[in-house]
Amino acid sequence: MTGKEGGHIDHAAAGATPPHANAVNPDALEVAPGTEHERLEGWIPALASEEELRGALEKAFDYRGDVTITRKDGSKVEGYLFDRRTGATLKDSVVRLYPKGSDEKISVSYAEIRALAFTGRDTAAGKSWEAWMKKYAEKKAAGEKDLSLHPEELE
C-alpha cells in the first residue's frame, strides 16, 4: 500500500505534521529522581519504643559505616552491621555484625540492645554521580590530563 492509505504523509501539504511530532521523548521517560540519603554519621537515636529500635536498626543496616551497640548489660560492640533478621518479637530478632578489627561474625538480639550510635564514617557519603561529575569537571578545568577518578583510601 502506498500514499495516505499506507500511513504516508505529504509533508509538502499545508498543515502536515512530521510523523513523530507528538512522540514522547524517551530520554525524558528514563529520568528518575535520585535518592536522598540521610546524614546519619554521629547520630544517636532515641530507642524509647520497640518501633524506634526497629526503625533505627533498619537505618543501621543501610548505613555504610560502623555502628556502636550498647547492650543492656553495659558491654559495647562496634562494627559493621551486615545483616538483620526480624521476628515477631524483639527476642526473636537479631542483628549480625563484624566487630571492628575482626573477621568473626557476632549476633546481637534486639532485646539486648539499650543504645545505638552511628560512630563510623559513612564511606559512601558524597559519592553520588553528581559529586563524581563535579570532581571530573574540576580536574578538566584545571587542565589535568589524567581525568580518571580513584576511590578514597579506606581507614
Looking at every residue in the chain, the average pLDDT score rounds to 79
Per-residue pLDDT reduced to its tens digit, 4-39? 666 656 656 666 565 556 666 666 665 555 555 567
Contact call for residues 116 and 57 (beta carbons, < 8 A): yes
Average pLDDT in the 102-130 region?
A: 85
Distance CA 34, CA 131 (A): 12
Per-residue pLDDT reduced to its tens digit, 29-77? 655 555 555 677 766 777 878 999 999 999 998 888 899 999 999 999 9
